[in-house]
Amino acid sequence: MEAPAAVPVHRCEAAGACGGRRPLPAEHGFRFIPGIYHNLPDTLRRIPFPGNANGVWDNLVAPAEMSFARSGREDLRIPLPWPGHRPAELTLDEIRRALTALLDTAGSIPLHETAYFVNRFLVFLTSCDERRDQVWERTPWWEFLRADRMSYDYQRILAVGLTRNIVATKAEEASTRTVATLLEAFAFNALGRGADGPLDRILNLPTNEAWIDPWVDHLTGLGVEFRIGWTVRELAYDSGARRIGAAVVEDPQGATHRVTADHYVCAMPVEHARRTWGAALRAADPQLARCDRLETDWMTGIQFYLTERAPLLAGHANCIDSPWSLTAIQQARHWPARDFAADYGDGAVVDCLSVDISEWDRPGILYGKTAKQCTRAEVAREVWAQLKAAFNDTGRTVLKDGALHSWFLDPGVDGLGTPNPTNEDQLLIHPVGTFHNRPRAATAVPNLYLAGDYVAVDIDLATMEGANASARQAVNALLDRTGSAAARCAVRPLFRAPELEGLKRHDRIRYRLGLPHALDVG
């Protein structure tokens, strides 16, 4: 098969603006705040935003649909109903295509495979906590689903779809506990059980405008001081006092300083945090050393700026056949308070297609190289080619080369096309056994606490929700150790369906007797 032609794609350094407009909005990756989150939404409600009764939380909007974009086949469009939710408007051709995709997908997964998947999901739903933590945590999702025996569509949709495109973890390695817990939470969310809101929510403005800038203003008003460009080099452990003696930091000019405090909260991604833990500190609390076993991978965003609105769907698209496991969303339609051309860039751009690249180690379709082996410009061209393969494949030209204005790739990725590419913004992934290496927020060091998406919390996933919950746990641990009478932070766990608890108790008995789950047909 002949490789697609390379299309010139221009990079938009600094997302250039003119005529008093804002720079084109760029980001590490699009925000996704599902209704299974509760702790993060509580924080969003506490951040004031002009004109919003519920602060930043009121800036959340719910896309009307999502899709599995297939290469060479009609895309499967899935409506996301919710009370008060206006469904997406479809043309007759779109209805025809949606029905074709539904019947094609239903027919491509044999009935016995569908029944098997449902059985496996029921097994997990009714498994006791002990079986989840000990057996399913050590069982790869691929093995749990017996995916190697199943059809291509079973593998791509049910095995790979969530693990690679959403969690950036390979289905062959991902912990069943992690993946199935997420599926369980989403299923209850779709049923309106224990949900903060719709299944899929995004922000109605660029992330900085809708959330980060108001948050910084609020915290600054409370007396928080931000030091931009400073780097924490070490949390220096005082072996005599058996506590952290200082944080060793480096200023933007390269000078080193020692910052002392009564207590220290280490709130960094795990790949950055563990660089600051020296041998003495690790010896003081072995759970810190176990964090070296936690694995990260690349999941990074790229934005394409368009001079024409592409007729895609009103929500997220999961390009499940793309070699680089792409997910994407058009943003302008979800930002009603903004006239994109009037407010951003040079006035020619009317929309932004924001794309997450989840697979960086498989060859692409344009150059035959992995994303890490490509230069930044080659990554942009390759992603654009894979998007066209997913969307321009059934008689429609959805993405036009002539409408492509420019692109922006996360600057945290560096050295692409060289033997040693780096990524400063990696994502914690969840191969089997990860759950047992996650640390607690309260450490054995009396004045050190951990906060981040790698800390052990109820949601076993690298998420903003997990980071938020861990920060609340860290604050509570600090208050407990100091004997403070202040109110503790509320930490809300994932929803547990009460009607399933009896079945879980039955499975607990079987587990302790060394018996398999009653529904487990192998």
Per-residue DSSP letter, 21:
P
pLDDT at residue 9, rounded to an integer:
47
pLDDT at residue 45, rounded to an integer:
98
pLDDT at residue 1, rounded to an integer:
31
Confidence of residue 79 (pLDDT cuts 50, 70, 90): confident
- The one-letter amino acid code at 134 reads Q
Q: 17-26, 277-286, 323-332: which range is least confident on average? A: 17-26
Confidence of residue 5 (pLDDT cuts 50, 70, 90): very low
pLDDT at residue 67, rounded to an integer:
84
pLDDT digits (tens, 9 = 90+) for 206-249: 999 999 999 999 999 999 999 999 999 999 999 999 999 999 99
SS3 295: coil
| Closest C-alpha among 462, 519, 516, 437 to residue 182 | 462
Residue 74 has pLDDT above 50, yes or no: yes
| Closest C-alpha among 51, 88, 126, 16 to residue 497 | 126
Residue of 389 and 167 predicted with greater confidence = 389
DSSP H or E run through 65: strand 65-68
**Cβ atoms within 10 Å, residue 444:** 12
Q: The sheet that has 351-357: what strands, in order across it? A: 76-79, 65-68, 315-319, 326-330, 351-357, 300-306, 404-409
Helix orientation angle between 176-190 and 111-125, rounded to the nearest 10 degrees? 90
- With a CB cutoff of 8 Å and minimum separation 6, the contacts of 331 are 25, 30, 206, 351, 352, 353, 354
| Closest C-alpha among 434, 440, 453, 359 to residue 177 | 434
With vertex at residue 32, the alpha carbon angle to CA 369 and CA 48, rounded to the nearest 5 degrees, is 135
| Closest C-alpha among 8, 6, 5, 10 to residue 305 | 10
Confidence of residue 81 (pLDDT cuts 50, 70, 90): confident
- The one-letter amino acid code at 433 reads G
DSSP H or E run through 100: helix 92-108
Please give the full DSSP string across 215-246, using - where no structure is assigned: HHHHHHHTT----TT-EEEEEEEETTTTEEEE
Residue 10 has pLDDT above 50, yes or no: no
Q: 11 near 407, Cβ under 8 Å?
A: yes
| Closest C-alpha among 426, 430, 455, 446 to residue 267 | 455
- With a CB cutoff of 8 Å and minimum separation 6, the contacts of 429 are 167, 168, 169, 174, 295, 296, 297, 462
Q: 189 near 199, Cβ under 8 Å?
A: yes
Distance CA 385, CA 400 (A): 11
Distance CA 251, CA 488 (A): 34
The percent of residues in the chain predicted with pLDDT above 90, rounded, is 71
Q: 41 near 57, Cβ under 8 Å?
A: yes
Residue of 444 and 85 predicted with greater confidence = 444
Largest pairwise CA distance in the chain = 75
Distance CA 480, CA 198 (A): 35
Q: 170 near 295, Cβ under 8 Å?
A: no
- The one-letter amino acid code at 272 reads H
Alpha carbon distance, N-terminus to C-terminus of the chain:
40
Chain-centroid distance of CA 331 in Å reads 17
| Closest C-alpha among 505, 298, 274 to residue 413 | 298
Where on the phi/psi map is residue 167: left (φ > 0), alpha (ψ -120 to 50), or beta? alpha
Confidence of residue 19 (pLDDT cuts 50, 70, 90): confident
| Strand pairing class (264-266; 448-450) | parallel
Burial classification of residue 90, based on how many CB atoms lie within 10 Å of its CB (0-12 exposed, 13-18 middle, 19 or more buried): middle
Confidence of residue 304 (pLDDT cuts 50, 70, 90): very high
Query: Structure tokens of 421?
Result: 């590419």
Q: 147 near 163, Cβ under 8 Å?
A: no
Distance CA 79, CA 94 (A): 13
Residue 3 has pLDDT above 60, yes or no: no
Q: What are phi and psi of 210, to 5 degrees?
A: -80, -25
Q: What are phi and psi of 366, to 5 degrees?
A: -100, -45
Distance CA 289, CA 148 (A): 35
Residue 415 has pLDDT above 70, yes or no: yes
**Cβ atoms within 10 Å, residue 116:** 18
The reported pTM is 0.90
